[in-house]
Amino acid sequence: MKYIDEYRKKDLILGIADEIRKISKKEISLMEVCGGHTMAIHRFGLHSFLPPTVSLLSGPGCPVCVSGQQFIDTAIAYCRQVGVILTTYGDLIRVPGSKSSLEKERAAGLDIRIVYSVLESLEIARKNPASKVIFLGIGFETTAPLTAAAIAEAAKLKLANFHVLSAHKVMPPVMKALVKDGVKINGFIAPGHVTAITGIGIYKDLPKAFGLGVVVSGFEPVDMMQSILMLVRQLEAGKPRVEIQYQRVVQQEGNVKALKLLDTVFELKDDYWRGLGMIPLSGLKIRSRFSEFDIEKILPVDVPLSTEPKGCICGMILRGLKKPTDCKLFAKRCTPSDPVGACMVSGEGSCATYFKYRE
């Protein structure tokens, strides 16, 4: 098995679709939380295989989209300082801040480098001892342990010129906030790679407290169709619960080693989510033990509060209240080559996905 081709077989997808059609009676709405799921649904046109009783809604699972302009503005404020090398995942390079973007700043001559892995940032710090190397830490539980590992390595190597600007966030509080906020859904297609780290314990109150089904899903079309089938079965039987479809990667207890490292380096803080506002204990900040690596601690910058661009409804889209096609700017003023809102910038943002695969 190569774990890709087997999960893209058309006959298998059609077979599962038949089964869903056969048993689906109730009208249900399922939210895929993860941007990777949104992409898979549109890329493979999975909507077209589902009966009218099952509708899918995109959630806030794109870290670039929910981090908003303030983070980019802050990153830019840092890289304009003398002797700073900013390192970032490619995902952030084109995201518009309130006045500029990292791409524009780089074109203007600032030292901004795209890295594939945070470990490359450590290497850059080692080779440039006179510079402050600041890594933009972004992402959910899947990605945050990588930053934690890099900080732990930097501590071990006594690499005092490596720093992190953390916008890392965690998933469970926002999933609950959405439901409490009145988003009408019957179940979550839960993020496979987040759960590969966290384990399924994070979802345990959702069925009882909110009557929601939860299926942790893989990212191939067969995975997603199977997850939808599992949710339909749960909801038709009136027995919502937490199940794992993505058994080949997700273990009940998650990745214990990664979780331990995450907890060693980071602690929870209240955090701002674009479109959703402040959510208690939904973000990750670097523990004081490691504060020499926390750029916000050693070199605070003052960045004015940013405002959302006029006419942009990213916030409503991230909450599943509107679809990208409801936005007046969509595909007119706002396109992937000249994006207004964050949901159009990130390749896995709902707007960019809708744009790429629009009919």
Partner 1 sequence: MCLAIPAKVLSVDGPAARVLIGDTEYNASLLLIDDVKAGDYIMLHAGFAIQKVDEEEAIETMRLLNEVAGYDPES
Q: What residue ranges bind partner 1 (CB under 8 A)? A: 1-4, 6, 9, 11-12, 14-16, 18-19, 34-36, 61-64, 89, 91, 116-120, 138-140, 142-143, 145-146, 149, 153, 191, 193-194, 196-197, 219, 222, 226, 229, 245, 247-251, 255, 257-258, 261, 346, 348
Token pair recorded at residue 165: 């600007």
| Nearer to partner 1 (CB atom), residue 251 or residue 291 | 251
- Characterize 268-304 residue by residue with b for buried, 16 or more Cβ atoms within 10 angstroms of its Cβ, and e for exposed: eeebbbbbbeebeebbbbbeeebebbbbbeeeeeebe
Give me the least distance between CB of 192 and partner 1, in Å please.
8
DSSP state of 117: S
CA dist 260 and 7 (Å) reads: 32
Q: Phi and psi at residue 63, in whole multiples of 5°?
A: -60, -35
Give me the least distance between CB of 83 and partner 1, in Å please.
26
Give me the least distance between CB of 216 and partner 1, in Å please.
12
| Nearer to partner 1 (CB atom), residue 183 or residue 249 | 249
Q: How many CA atoms lie within 13 A of 281 on its CB side?
A: 4
| Nearer to partner 1 (CB atom), residue 148 or residue 279 | 148
CA angle 344, 346, 349 (to 5 degrees): 65
Specify whether the backbone of 142 is left (phi greater than 0), alpha (psi in -120 to 50) or beta.
alpha
Give me the least distance between CB of 255 and partner 1, in Å please.
6
**Measuring CA to CA, which residue among 113, 162, 108, 167 is closest to residue 136?**
167
Give me the least distance between CB of 104 and partner 1, in Å please.
22
| Nearer to partner 1 (CB atom), residue 15 or residue 45 | 15
CA 215 centroid distance within chain? 17
| Nearer to partner 1 (CB atom), residue 125 or residue 329 | 125
Give me the least distance between CB of 295 and partner 1, in Å please.
20
| Nearer to partner 1 (CB atom), residue 66 or residue 329 | 66
Q: Which residues contact 247 (CB under 8 A, 6 or more apart)?
A: none
CA dist 29 and 48 (Å) reads: 15
One-letter amino acid for residue 317 of the chain: I
Give me the least distance between CB of 126 and partner 1, in Å please.
16
Give me the least distance between CB of 91 and partner 1, in Å please.
6
Give me the least distance between CB of 69 and partner 1, in Å please.
17
| Nearer to partner 1 (CB atom), residue 6 or residue 181 | 6
| Nearer to partner 1 (CB atom), residue 92 or residue 329 | 92
| Nearer to partner 1 (CB atom), residue 61 or residue 173 | 61
- Around Cβ 129, how many Cβ atoms within 10 Å? 10
Q: How many helices (H) and strands (E) does the chain have?
A: 15, 11
CA dist 132 and 52 (Å) reads: 55
CA dist 146 and 133 (Å) reads: 17
CA dist 138 and 188 (Å) reads: 23
